Amino acid sequence: MFEIRVHGLGGQGAVTLCTWIAQAGYAVDSHVQAFPFFGAERRGAPVKAFVRVDEQPIDLRSQVYRPDLLVVMSPDLTGLALQEGITPEGRLLVNCGGELAARFAERFSRDIHYIDGTGIALELGLEFDGMPMVNLPLFGAVVAQADVATLEAVLEIVDEVAGRRGNREAYEKAVQAGWDGVEVARAPAEPSAKPAASETDYDLSRTGVTPIEP
Amino acid sequence: MKLLETGNHLIALAANVAGVEVVPAYPITPQTQIIEMVADLIARGDMDAEYIPVESEHSACAALVSASLTGARAFSATSAHGLAYMHEMLHYSAGIRVPVVMANVNRALGPGWNIWCDHQDSISQRDTGWLQVYVASHQEAVDTVIQAYRITEDHSVLLPLMLNLDAFVLSHTYMDADMPSREEVSKYLPPYRPLWKLDPKKPVTHGSVVYPVDFSETRESMQIGQDNARRVAARAAEEFREMFGRWHGAMVDGYLLDDAEFLIVAMGSLAAESRVAVDALRSEGKAAGLLRVRFFRPFPIDELRELCAGRQGLMVIDRDFSYGMEGALFTEVKGALYGYADPPAANLIVGIGGRDVTYELIADHAKRAMAGELAEVTWGDSHVTRAHEITREVLREFEDLMD
């Protein structure tokens, strides 16, 4: 079984991205499962969504706590995403540029796979309601990294969506750029001391889930 | 045809291939996708049915009853407060013996307001006379809609059936499933043949006053219908397997039961997660098995007596609670076993109001139960502190904080 968890902000298309990933896995005859955590649906609020792909029918119904691939659509959420868990050998894919990825690699002492999905979307003029459609390049990137489907399957799904919106060429380019464009910022050989919290960290206390102590 | 869809949409598509003719409905999260899809299918001309938008769930159930009494195959869907609002009409529909099917997307009852999954809504309707099934997968949801009419419309049953599926975990999650065609289903499920129907040309009064001299018989006949449903449901599942090659159990479903020394008993999607817990326990050399209660009404009394006898212990998982007592499934299981089988039994209360339940949590509690260390009733994922107690002292501390 291959498990994926996506962290994004409301409006970035994290839920749609997970549905597409499942469709791609389904297109190559795998059993799939895709679902978000349903909370208040607000623009800009942190969103989590999950995908499972397996050759066997899937019995798990719980959320994904130890993903094989952890996807971060907004780099502010990287600390939070890691805190919520990943398998020891799991891969972290962040939507960001090389400079930020190198800083993350140092701070979190791990390899950071990254792609500038925002840059790709903006360059191709792909915006939806004023927000760059980062889920298109990330769709290509995630499926390539997860190796759960073929590029043909991905393009077919995107063509269908693009056909409804009449922007097929740009959609395909975005997905292809994502498929080809993932790079890696390597963790430093000497792990740094425990990283200090930075202002870019998501403030966990705002999630309001801290148990009340007696 | 293979499909990748949400549980809700699959239910709507299954109602279509099952030849549903009337759908009275009122929206409520997390059920709304079902009736939206039905409305969409009808609007596109892909479903030959009458859609009746009504002003409340009470009216939805009233229209469901009326439609069925005219001889039509009727279907509806609801959740939580919608189901609670139907309560009177649930008794009515069972009492007047209409073979309708309704999907209930299991959701917590407020306050505090909560749209997520637990079984409190349907468990609270236990004694209305409805048959109740709890499904564990998308495929089972599809197949159970189709089987349901075979069961309800059997002239030895004629009771309504509530198909329960877990909010979000099944209702809004995309999974792959096989959807048989209308033609394939029609070979399994013939058109509804009512024993009688309301007809303006032959006016009759039905469901009016019944004096004490006759009333007990109307009620005992409901129980006879429930008892008959055991045999009819088993046959419906068996013939479904012959025709479509899929099996989800009849009254119960089991996993690694044969050599199991310890059983987890569960309903709905927690039973699917429990299969993974059983695998985890087996990998640690613990002989665990899963007994999934598929039908909660009629309750699988004989199956439980047979399958629980000789085991070293049980852990019954409830996603509901009967306040002042214990989890409802726990009570029912013990009631069925009384005088027949006597394994030590513990009750795990988890997943209330959509709290996520992992197989690890289930397996950990099962291990404690096997070691005899699990309390008779354990709220497995709740962390009540003194601050949750409503006492004058705590309220005063709260007021001080506000000042």
A153 CB contacts (<8 Å, ≥6 apart)?
A24, A27, A28, A143
Whether A151 is covered by a domain: the verdict is: yes
Q: Alpha-carbon Rg of chain B, whole angstroms?
A: 22
Two tokens at B241? 């397997």
Distance CA B131, CA B101 (A): 9
Two tokens at A171? 């959609």
Q: Are residues B122 and B234 in the same domain?
A: yes
Confidence of residue A199 (pLDDT cuts 50, 70, 90): very low
Q: Are residues B146 and B213 in the same domain?
A: yes
Tell me if A60 and B272 make a contact (CB, 8 A cut-off): yes
Chain B segment 98-157 residues within 8 A of A by beta carbon are 115-116, 137, 139
Whether B98 is covered by a domain: the verdict is: yes
Whether B392 is covered by a domain: the verdict is: no
- CA-based nearest distance A157→chain B, Å: 13
Whether B298 is covered by a domain: the verdict is: yes
**Digit-coded pLDDT (tens) for B243-257:** 999 999 999 999 999
Whether B212 is covered by a domain: the verdict is: yes
- Provide the mean pLDDT of chain A: 89
Q: Which of B4, B358, B385 sits opposite A26 (nearest CB)?
A: B4
Q: Are residues B180 and B227 in the same domain?
A: yes
Task: Flag whether pLDDT at A211 surpasses 50.
Answer: no
Exposure b/e, A151-162, CB count within 10 A at least 16 = b: eebbbebbeebb
**Residue of B9, B114, B176 best to disrupt the A interface, most CBs of A under 10 A:** B176
Range of the domain at B97: 2-244
The pLDDT, as a whole number, for residue A193 is 57
Q: Are residues B41 and B148 in the same domain?
A: yes
Tell me if B270 and A61 make a contact (CB, 8 A cut-off): yes
Confidence of residue A38 (pLDDT cuts 50, 70, 90): confident
Q: Are residues B219 and B260 in the same domain?
A: no
The pLDDT, as a whole number, for residue B184 is 97
Beta strands in B90-159 (DSSP E): 101-106, 131-134
Q: Are residues B316 and B369 in the same domain?
A: yes
Crossing angle of the two packed helices B328-337 and B301-308, in degrees rounded to 10: 70
Q: Decide: helix, strand or coil at residue B90.
A: helix
A4 CB contacts (<8 Å, ≥6 apart)?
A18, A21, A50, A51, A52, A53, A64, A67, A68, A69, A70, A71, A142, A146
**Helix ranges (DSSP H) in chain A:** 14-27, 78-83, 98-108, 117-123, 135-146, 151-165, 168-180
CATH number at residue B149: 3.40.50.970
Number of domains in chain A: 1
Whether A209 is covered by a domain: the verdict is: no
What ipTM was estimated for this complex? Answer: 0.93
Q: Decide: helix, strand or coil at residue B384.
A: coil
Q: Are residues B221 and B258 in the same domain?
A: no
**Helix ranges (DSSP H) in B309-349:** 328-337
- Strand (E) or helix (H) holding B377: strand B377-379
Q: Are residues B269 and B239 in the same domain?
A: no
CATH number at residue B318: 3.40.50.920
Q: Which of A31, A65, A213 sits opposite B176 (nearest CB)?
A: A31
Final residue in a domain of this structure, among B244, B279, B306: B244
CA distances (Å), origin A185, targets A99, A130, A149, A151, B161: 9, 30, 25, 24, 57
The pLDDT, as a whole number, for residue A141 is 98
The pLDDT, as a whole number, for residue B176 is 97
Whether A141 is covered by a domain: the verdict is: yes
Tell me which residue of A31, A25, A29, A70 sits closest to A49, measured CA to CA: A70
Where chain B has pLDDT below 70, the residues are none
The pLDDT, as a whole number, for residue B236 is 98
The pLDDT, as a whole number, for residue B270 is 98
Whether A55 is covered by a domain: the verdict is: yes
* Distance from the Cα of residue A198 to its chain's centroid: 22
Whether B110 is covered by a domain: the verdict is: yes
Q: Are residues B321 and B232 in the same domain?
A: no
Whether B396 is covered by a domain: the verdict is: no
Q: Decide: helix, strand or coil at residue A164.
A: helix
Range of the domain at A112: 2-188
- Provide the mean pLDDT of chain B: 96
B3 and chain A in contact, CB less than 8 A? no
For residue B340, report the phi and psi dihedrals to the nearest 5 degrees.
Answer: -120, -45
Two tokens at B232? 């009819």
Residue with tokens 């995403």: A81
A54 and chain B in contact, CB less than 8 A? no
Distance CA B82, CA B28 (A): 7
CATH number at residue A98: 3.40.920.10
Task: Flag whether pLDDT at A41 surpasses 80.
Answer: no
Q: Are residues B147 and B80 in the same domain?
A: yes
Whether A214 is covered by a domain: the verdict is: no
Neighbours of A97 (CB within 10 A): 15
Exposure b/e, B222-250, CB count within 10 A at least 16 = b: beebbebbbebbbebbeebeeebeeebbb
On the CB side of B230, CA atoms within 13 Å amount to: 14
Distance CA B328, CA B120 (A): 9
A43 CB contacts (<8 Å, ≥6 apart)?
A9, A10, A11
- Strand (E) or helix (H) holding B26: none
Beta strands in B220-355 (DSSP E): 252-255, 262-266, 288-293, 295-297, 313-318, 345-349
B172 and chain A in contact, CB less than 8 A? yes
Distance CA B303, CA A127 (A): 58
CA distances (Å), origin A138, targets A50, A113, A177, B402: 14, 12, 9, 46
Task: Flag whether pLDDT at A204 surpasses 90.
Answer: no
Confidence of residue A192 (pLDDT cuts 50, 70, 90): low
Whether B389 is covered by a domain: the verdict is: no
Q: Decide: helix, strand or coil at residue A58.
A: coil
Chain B residues with CB-CB distance to A59 below 8 A:
272-273, 275-276
* Distance from the Cα of residue B197 to its chain's centroid: 28
Chain B segment 376-395 residues within 8 A of A by beta carbon are 383, 385-388
Neighbours of B19 (CB within 10 A): 20
Number of domains in chain B: 2
What is the value of pTM for the model shown? 0.93
The pLDDT, as a whole number, for residue B384 is 87
Q: Are residues B198 and B320 in the same domain?
A: no
Q: Are residues B83 and B191 in the same domain?
A: yes
The pLDDT, as a whole number, for residue A208 is 39
Residue of B nearest to A21 (CA): B174
Kindly tell me the sign of the dihedral angle through the C-alpha atoms of B259, B357, B170, B55.
positive
- CA-based nearest distance B62→chain A, Å: 32
Confidence of residue A100 (pLDDT cuts 50, 70, 90): very high
B272 and chain A in contact, CB less than 8 A? yes
Tell me which residue of B120, B85, B194 sits closest to B351, measured CA to CA: B120
A161 CB contacts (<8 Å, ≥6 apart)?
A20, A171
- CA-based nearest distance A37→chain B, Å: 9
Whether B384 is covered by a domain: the verdict is: no
